[in-house]
Amino acid sequence: MERLKKRWGIDSNFQIVIICIVFAVTGSAAAKLAAPLTEFIGLARESTSPWLFWPVRIALIFPIYQVLLVFFGWLFGQFAFFWN
């Protein structure tokens, strides 16, 4: 645990817990927000080839995740960690 704290530049185990929670919440929120966005651009899972649908959806998740990661990091008081 000490190696992880040193590598991440954090001081307490509580910060590790908060950072893990931020990663979990961000991943879930990004995946959840990608669904209506794919429908908005006209891609429905039922009517679109999986070879097109999934790469587009995954490509949409990446920028959503990056923005949400900083937002949730700020919300949980770990903005500096996620900004760097």
- For 33-45, write each residue's pLDDT tens digit: 999 999 999 888 8
- The pLDDT value recorded for residue 1 is 80
Q: What φ, ψ does residue 44 adopt, rounded to 5°?
A: -105, 140
Domain ranges of the chain: 12-83
Tell me the two tokens of residue 59. 């490509």
For the whole model, what pTM was predicted?
0.83
Q: What residue has token string 């679109």?
A: 48
